Amino acid sequence: MKPILHRRRTLRDVAKAAGVSLSTASNALNATGRVNRQTRETVLQIATEIGFMPNALARGLLSRRSFTIGMLTNDTYGRLTLPMMAGVSESLVDHGISVFLCATNNDPRRAQLHLQALLARQVDGIIITGTRRDLTPAVELSGLPVPVVYAFAEGPAQTISFVPDDAHGARLAVEHLRSLGRSRIVHITGPMDYLAARIRAAAYRQICGDASEVRYGAWTEEWGYEATQAIFSRAGDRPDAIFCGSDEIARGVIDALRDLELSVPGDVAIAGYDNWEVIARQTRPPLTTVDMELKEVGRRAGLAMLALTRGEEIAPGVVELPCRLVIGRSCGG
Amino acid sequence: MKPILHRRRTLRDVAKAAGVSLSTASNALNATGRVNRQTRETVLQIATEIGFMPNALARGLLSRRSFTIGMLTNDTYGRLTLPMMAGVSESLVDHGISVFLCATNNDPRRAQLHLQALLARQVDGIIITGTRRDLTPAVELSGLPVPVVYAFAEGPAQTISFVPDDAHGARLAVEHLRSLGRSRIVHITGPMDYLAARIRAAAYRQICGDASEVRYGAWTEEWGYEATQAIFSRAGDRPDAIFCGSDEIARGVIDALRDLELSVPGDVAIAGYDNWEVIARQTRPPLTTVDMELKEVGRRAGLAMLALTRGEEIAPGVVELPCRLVIGRSCGG
DNA sequence: CAAATCTGCAAAAACCTTTTTGCATTTCTC
DNA sequence: GAGAAATGCAAAAAGGTTTTTGCAGATTTG
């Protein structure tokens, strides 16, 4: 298939058709300078008639702003990136900014390649997103000629980052469980080398005090199953609630409880984390879980970027954004 | 934080530092024209020294090719888009092409907005991705000044589309089940208004003939559970295998079988569809499932786009790409 | 009514790169 | 050693837009 590539219309076409000069046509379209009302209307009408659309390349060349930004992600799966992307887009599309998405696949060489390409394209800024908040970027980013913002990843000192408030998320879940009368709550979560896991565990410990018990492992269903088996096979008091570090873990936990012939939430209440809809909503019972509001994280990062590209100053630091508790049926109440 | 925005280096800077004219500098860097070896080396060295990087905007303005493409998606969740995006990127990044990702959220107004922006940015082409192959795009795309390619969506006549070969995927699963000695296979799948569901069902029917039974419903775990309950609560022969239209359905089916105290794969073998890793691998037992090779779909779409932007001709039509069977333990064997 | 102000438009410069053309030198050929 | 060819570089044009400057003619002011 060979598409008909009719040459795109330029300002010159508009000017010629309207019988005015380039500058007048430009002024008319942008409502700048001094243009007679009648003239302006003629130009506007002709512009829409022939489908004129200003060439963003030429514009960017002149203004030294491309009205584009780059987003570098190492997420191959998309579960974190796309919601954030939606937030970024949402905050920027109305300001005429488009987003280059670059998947690095955790390959430093590829990341470097993408970065070079973005800079060559004169992006106005770069947003780095990670799959965990304590991941060092695969590429050197200091001394760039454009502002950098981190989303779902903590940048180095003197940079700006937006991350979910893990402590807040953990408190939401744990306090919800306690408000429902549960007192023997254990916490099954992911690997200890995840900063997010440690922060959530600390928040949980602060609330539950001496009664607290944290089990670090993996972000998998299997680990949730295994940990639950271990917990319920030993002697002594049995927990009446489990706060899980992810919805996948929660799912494994519920599976194990079913095999142990314990009811959820009757015998044990379960709280998840992530609000990964496909899991959370389809688990039986549907999970009560913590939503990290990734879209909002993206939106805030986009807004910060917008301010920076305008030359406004923003205080560096890590901004922690509140989470939201999604009520399912796994905690009862 | 106010970043230090040291002005980006231009070719003029290089030329001045090297003591040559703009044209010579350009020729030296691009290995065009006639340039003395010594001069060229000097220019090259200075260019790397001061970190010169040609301005893609200026380049694009001149060459009338921006070396960018736009990707329009209505997938909010990201499960389909990001793998395809990775494939698209992979086939294009080495040719110096970057990708604008635009999430339309199924909102025609937003889609139109993104489309306008892409055209203004002089993209060399547009890739449309859908969440199902029979989805009409939210925006008018005929008569565009740039080539359009569809990925995981069938475009109208005279366009180019790449989709997974649903019939092939279904055959892979069903024939695998049969090769393991299963003969009473039922098919539980999603809504009948999905073309993909109908194609897979037809392929399944062709193999199983009179013994075939298709249950259309929803792409959910719940539906899988419910359909399984219905099938096994009636009188007559019980199936020894279930071919599921999605991994989520498969999961619901397995759940139901467990409640019926039937073993998987001992009593009933289960095949899924999608190879949605988080589900497929973490189900107990891990699913044998069909992978649609989304990355390859994206890669092929990218390659087609590349050819089109070079002015090569490509025959229109729907290209169906083979699927791959991923062996888990849910079918035994 | 002369001077000052305002109005409407055009010309030209600028953004940064690539490519074509042109002009001196130098090197080769007979 | 004279004409032809090759070499090395610079100047200029082009791509599409925005913005500054300039210049007439119309209108207002004292």
Q: Are strands B324-326 and B288-291 parallel, antiparallel or unpaired?
A: antiparallel
Rounded distance between C-alpha atoms, residue A277 and residue A295, angstroms: 14
Long-range contacts of residues A54-59, Cβ cutoff 8 Å, at least 24 apart: A54/A11, A54/A29, A54/B120, A55/A8, A55/A10, A55/B61, A55/B120, A55/B122, A56/B117, A56/B120, A56/B121, A56/B122, A57/B57, A57/B60, A57/B61, A57/B66, A57/B121, A57/B122, A58/B61
Predicted confidence at residue B6, as pLDDT, reads 57
B166-194 pLDDT, tens digit per residue, is 999 999 999 999 999 999 999 999 999 99
What is the Cα–Cα distance from A222 to A134, expressed in whole angstroms?
24
**What residues contact residue A235 under an 8 Å CB cut-off, 6+ apart?**
none
Dmax over Cα atoms in chain A, in whole Å? 92
CA atoms of A186 and A271, how far apart (whole Å): 11
Q: What backbone phi and psi angles, to 5 degrees, belong to A273?
A: -155, 135
Candidates A68, A19, A7; CA nearest to A306 is A68
Choose among B282, B236, B285, B278: nearest CA to B257: B285
| pLDDT value, residue B284 | 86
Q: Does A285 touch chain B (CB under 8 A)?
A: no
Backbone dihedral angles phi then psi of residue B318, each to the nearest 5 degrees: -100, 115
Tell me whether B261 touches chain A (CB under 8 Å): no
Taking CB atoms and an 8 Å cutoff, what residues of chain A touch B1? 147, 158-160, 308, 313-316
- Which of B8, B94, B101 is the best residue to mutate to test the A interface, defined by the most A CB atoms within 10 Å of its own CB? B101
Q: Are B28 and B40 in contact, with CB atoms under 8 Å apart? A: yes
Question: 């939606």: which residue's tokens?
Answer: A86
Chosen CATH of B66-164+294-322 out of 3.40.50.2300, 3.40.50.720, 3.40.630.30, 3.30.200.20: 3.40.50.2300
Q: Give CA–CA dist A300/A294, Å, rounded.
A: 10
Rounded CA-CA distance A176/B301 in Å is 48
Question: What are the φ and ψ backbone dihedral angles of A317, each rounded to 5 degrees?
Answer: 140, 175
CATH domain A166-293 topology: Rossmann fold (3.40.50)
Class level of CATH domain B11-54: mainly alpha
CATH of A66-164+294-321 among 3.40.50.2300, 3.40.630.30, 3.10.20.90, 3.90.420.10 = 3.40.50.2300
Q: What single-letter DSSP state applies at residue A13?
A: H
What whole-number distance in Å separates Cα of residue A168 and Cα of residue A192?
19
| CB B18 under 7 Å to nucleic chain D | no
Q: Tokens for A204?
A: 């949980």
Q: Do the domains at A66-164+294-321 and A166-293 have one common CATH topology?
A: yes
Supply the pLDDT for residue A6. 57
The secondary structure of residue A172, as a DSSP letter, is: H
Give the highest mean pLDDT range of A137-146, B74-83, B98-107, B219-228: B219-228
φ, ψ dihedrals at B258, nearest 5° = -65, -45
Per-chain mean pLDDT for chain B: 93
Q: Which alpha helices (H) appear in chain A, and where do they start and end? A: 11-18, 22-30, 37-49, 56-63, 81-93, 108-120, 166-179, 195-208, 221-233, 247-259, 277-280, 294-309
| Nearest beta carbon to residue A85 from set B101, B251, B255 | B101
Whole-number pLDDT of residue B247: 96
Where in chain A are the domains? 11-54, 66-164+294-321, 166-293
Name chain A contacts of B110, Cβ cutoff 8 Å: 93
Omega before A285 cis (within 30°)? Answer: yes
Residue B95: predicted pLDDT:
93
pLDDT in tens, B42-83: 999 999 999 999 999 999 999 999 999 999 998 877 788 889
SS (H, E, C) B27-55: HHHHCCCCCCHHHHHHHHHHHHHCCCCCC
Mean pLDDT, 10 residues at a time, chain A of 333 residues = 60 94 95 92 95 96 95 85 91 94 89 94 96 83 92 93 98 97 96 97 96 95 96 92 97 94 96 93 93 97 96 94 97 85
B62 burial type by CB count under 10 A (0-12 exposed, 13-18 middle, 19+ buried): exposed
- On chain A, the residues whose CB falls within 8 A of the CB of B148 are 3
Residue type, A277: E
Confidence of residue B4 (pLDDT cuts 50, 70, 90): very low
Instruction: Tell which phi-psi region holds residue A293, choosing left (phi > 0), alpha (psi between -120 and 50) or beta.
Output: left
Q: Is A48 on the interface with B (CB under 8 A)?
A: no
Q: Do B280 and A220 meet the contact criterion of CB atoms below 8 Å apart? A: no
From residue A104, how far is each of A75, B82, B290 by CA, in Å? 8, 12, 26
- A221 CA to centre of own chain: 24
Cβ distance A189 to A244 under 8 Å? yes
The residue-averaged pLDDT of B191-201 equals 97
Q: Which residues pair with A116 in a beta bridge?
A: none
Going by C-alpha positions, the residue among A289, A283, A200, A186 that lies closest to residue A232 is: A186
Residue to test with chain B: of A29, A94, A98, most B Cβ within 10 A: A98
CATH of domain B166-292: 3.40.50.2300
What pLDDT digit, counting tens, does each position of B111-170 carry? 999 999 999 999 999 999 998 888 887 788 888 999 999 999 999 999 999 999 999 999
